[in-house]
Structures are given as structure tokens and as C-alpha cells.
Amino acid sequence: MNESMLEKIKKAGVVGAGGAGFPTYVKLKCTAEYVIVNCAECEPLIKSDKYLMEQNAESIVEGLRCAMSCVSAKNGVLAIKYKNKSAVHALEAAVSGKENVSIHLLDNYYPAGDEQQIIYEVTKRTIPVGKLPSEVGCVVINAQTAYHIAQAMEDKPVVRRNVTITGAVHSPLTITAPIGTAVAYLIEMAGGATVKDYSVIIGGPLMGRVSEDPSNEFVTKTTNGIIVLPTDHELIRKKTVSLEQEYKIAKSACCQCNYCTLICPRSSLGLGVQPHKVMQALTFNNADVLIDGNAALGCCNCGLCTYVGCNMGLSPSRFISKMRSELLAKKVKSNHEPKPVNPFRDDIKVSTKRVIQRTGLTEYDIDVPYVDSYDAPRAVRIMLKQHIGAPCEPVVLEGDTVIEGQCIGQIPEKALGACVHSSINGRVVNISKDYIDIMEA
Ligand code: SF4
Ligand code: SF4
């Protein structure tokens, strides 16, 4: 374990940029045989990692090597979809001549970036449900995280990240945005919405959440995409319809065809996930079919069963997600031993193209250019909780002058968390329990 590297990563506030924001210095406090960089960027429409890899391949490989040093890994692997040819070439050039670092090409399927999928693709191992990847000798970090690790080695904290703004906007684009930039500002930068009534998904179209108030959303360390869609778009309807209403429909419409389970990528890895059983338990009030929580606990919430699997238009992923949360809250643990991987797994994989068609996103599946020259925001809102763990405690006062990269929120003592930094030069104009507002002086 390389303590000085871990300390730099902690000081820079690096978190898992592709998921829920788990603090990276904690993740790397283990030993592992493999460090895998998740370069899959599997959510449709999002291009933020693609550009990052094309433009910063050397830094990503450097970040990978640092992570390998932290966990004493013998193997470093960059797992990337073969279709991202320019990024593959950039990474190939960056790994050339470097020992123990290689590239693994992935098919263009969803969810290729799921931790279980990517570990299986690279090592042919599966993680028992409820255990960490280190259990099977692996650590997985996102491409943006690897880049931030490399920056941290130069004492540069996380103050920017790549974000794609796309969907029903006039000029979709990807930019490197200061953390804390208002989402409304970025939508304007993308030319504004093309429709009057629109909704905004923060994150990818499938796993992202529909914002309840887009005017009050700000870029965090985990914001990879901002998807604008007409409010009456089917994807928005599916994501926002109440569970009570879904339940009423499911009671009469679920025919137990089992297709949601057949298509489930976690099920095909032998992890025991069975959305049709969860639906059976709910719709027939027959909890006995579940026996334990194994049908739900291994779900990664990819949404495939809902958006592609169910021909009756039901949302098994929403029910399974609710059930999983309730089981975890009750501290129910899985006792499922991984079963052999489905020998037809490759045939079951769902292409990203099919996901795009089924979710009604074909018209938005276009080239999204990277724009490097733009008017930077004059104000930012730095959220005090952009990570798993406790919110940061402000270490500045209202009226203080701050500079870009200055730490403004620290991890509470003995808590899990990640510190936050100002992403612009300016003055602290407001501090609340949730955020710090900074305005250009
Ligand atoms: S939820 Fe849909 S796919 Fe799953 S069993 Fe019911 S009808 Fe079939
Ligand atoms: S969301 Fe559905 S398809 Fe995805 S892992 Fe969970 S049960 Fe399987």
C-alpha cells in the first residue's frame, strides 16, 4: 500500500466518478491482483469518457499505474468498447512500452460498464453478491477517476469533469465543466431546449434520475450527462409514473413470461437475480416465491428488464430496486453462491443500438462534439455531499476570498467522505448545510 499516494488522492477529493462517488482513497486501501479501468461508458448518448480518453490517454494510464501501486496489483487493464476507435488508439499509444498494462476490448452492449460484467469480461470471475470486487482480486475504477488520480499526483484536486449535454437541445455538446456549474447554464450553452415542456435526466438515460427541479441542479463529481427530453417522452413517463400506479397495472398485466429474467445481465452471470419472481411475489402477494432476498439483492439497477425486456410495458427494475433497498435496510444478506455463467450469455447480450431503439432515443443518438472554448460560469454551487459518506464540513466563511483548487469543505473527523474544493476564483457568498456558493469577485 502506497500511503503517500493514498494521502494525495484523499487530499484531492477523488471519488468514483462513474457511480455513486465512493471515496477512492478508501477503495484503494486493499490488495488486488487486477486494477481495471472502466472505459466502457455504456449508457447511451453519453460521450464524456470518450473525449476524456481521446484527449488524456496518458494521464488515464498514469492514474491506472498509481492505483496499481496503491493495491500492489500485478495487472492493469483498460476495458474499452472496440467501437470507440479513436479512444482505443489513444490508449494503445499510451500503454505502449509500459509493463503489466493492457487493453481489453469489449462488445458494444449494455451494461458493459457494470462492475460484475467488466470483471467477468476481463478475468472470467464473478463476485459473490454483497461482496466487494477485491474478494475476487479486482479493483475497478472509472476512466474519469483514473484521470483524477493522475491529477492528484500533481497536487491538483477535482475541480472539473467532462459532461455531455444532449437530447432535445439545439446544439448537443460535451465540455469539461467546473464542478458546481448550474445545469440550467449548461443547457443554455447547448443552445437551450428544443421544446417548451422538457424534463432533465441527470446521468445516463437508463440509470440517471429525472430532476424534480432542473433550475436547482449543479454539476457534481459524478455528473457525466445531462439529458434533456420532452416531458411527454415515454422514457420520462416510465421513470416518473408512481409506483402505486405501476403496481395496479402490473397486477393485471404481468403474465410471468420470464423474459425480464432471461434478459437480465446479472442473472446470466449466475448471480441469482430473478425479476419475474419479484413481480410474482408482488402481484400475487406471494412472498413465498422469494424464500430469501437472492432474487433481488444482486440487481445492479441497470433497467434492462424494464426498458428492453418487458413487452407488457412494466417496470420490474423499479420494484426490484425498492425491494433491494428494503432488504439492505434490514441488513438481509445474500446467501446465494454464484452459479455457472449462462453458456448463451454472449447471445443474450443486448446491443446498445437496441437499447436506444427501445427507449425511443434514436433521434438523439448523434455525434456530440467536444467544445473546449466557452464562457466559464461566473458562479458555482459546490455541494457538500458529492460522494458516499458524510457531508463535508465547510472550512471557509461567508465573505472569504477563495481560489480555484482551494479546499472549502473537509471530511468530518473519523467519517467516510471526500473533501471538496472551489472550482473558480471568487468569493464565498453563501453557506448552507448542503452547499457553498461562490461568485467570481
Ligand atoms: S414483468 Fe414483464 S417480462 Fe417480467 S414476467 Fe412480467 S410480463 Fe414478463
Ligand atoms: S435492473 Fe433488471 S435487468 Fe438490470 S440487473 Fe436488475 S433485474 Fe437485472
Looking at residue 427, which CATH number applies to its domain?
2.40.50
Look at residue 233 and tell me whether its pLDDT is greater than 60.
Answer: yes
Q: Could you tell me the residue range of the domain that residue 209 belongs to?
A: 159-233+360-377
Task: State if residue 14 touches ligand 1 by the CB under 6 angstroms criterion.
Answer: no
128 and 17 in a single domain? The answer is yes
Return d(Cα 13, Cα 421) in angstroms, integer.
8
Pair 77, 123: CB distance under 8 Å: no
Residue 177 pairs in a beta bridge with 161
Residue 256 has pLDDT above 70, yes or no: yes
CB atoms within 10 A of CB 28: 27
Q: 400-441, pLDDT tens digit by residue? A: 999 999 999 999 999 999 999 999 999 999 999 999 999 998
199 and 309, same domain (yes or no): no
Q: What's the average model confidence in pLDDT over 185-213?
A: 97
The residue from 153, 188, 213 where one domain ends is: 153
| pLDDT, tens only, 75-119 | 999 999 999 999 999 999 999 999 999 999 999 999 999 999 999
Mutate to test the pocket of ligand 1, among 267, 279, 284 (most ligand atoms within 8 A of CB): 279
Number of domains in the chain: 4
Stated length of the chain: 441
Percent residues over pLDDT 70 in the chain = 98
Tell me which residues have their CB closer than 6 angstroms to ligand 2: 264, 266, 273, 275, 299-305, 316-317, 320
Assess whether pLDDT exceeds 60 at residue 289. Answer: no
The backbone torsions φ and ψ at residue 421, rounded to the nearest 5 degrees and listed phi first, read -130, 155
Q: Are residues 177 and 256 in the same domain?
A: no
Confidence category of residue 287, pLDDT binned at 50, 70, 90: low
Of 322, 342, 377, the residue that ends a domain is 377
Are 168 and 314 part of one and the same domain? no
- Residue 341 is assigned to a structural domain of this protein: yes
Query: Residue 188 belongs to a domain with what CATH number?
Result: 3.10.20.600
Q: What is the CA(318)–ligand 2 centre distance, in A?
A: 9
Residues 143 and 172 in one domain: no
Whether residues 209 and 276 fall in one domain = no
> Within this chain, do residues 202 and 263 fall inside the same structural domain, yes or no?
no
Residue 373 belongs to a domain: yes
Nearest to 28 by CA among 174, 151, 132: 132
277 belongs to a structural domain: yes
Collapse the DSSP code of 107 into the 3-class scheme (helix H, G, I; strand E, B; otherwise coil) and give the result: coil
**Is residue 207 in a domain?**
yes
**Whether 101 and 164 share a structural domain:** no
Q: Where are the beta strands (DSSP E) in 215-264?
A: 225-230
Residues 143 and 163 in one domain: no
Clarify whether residues 13 and 55 are in a common domain. Answer: yes
Is 276 a pocket residue for ligand 1 (Cβ < 6 Å)? yes
Give the domain CATH number at 77: 3.40.50.11540
Mean pLDDT (whole number) for 167-185: 98
Confirm if 171 and 49 have CB atoms less than 8 A apart: no
210 within a domain of the structure (yes/no): yes
Residue 391 is assigned to a structural domain of this protein: yes
Pair (216, 253) in one structural domain: no
Residues 269 and 364 in one domain: no
- 239 belongs to a structural domain: no
Instruction: Give the pLDDT mean for 264-278.
Output: 93
Q: Whose CA is nearest to atom 2 of ligand 1?
A: 310
Predicted local distance difference test score (pLDDT) of residue 290? 63
Stated pTM of the model:
0.95
Q: Which ligand is nearest to the CA of 256?
A: 1
- Report if residue 19 sits inside a domain: yes
Residues 340 and 218: their CA atoms lie apart, in Å, by 43
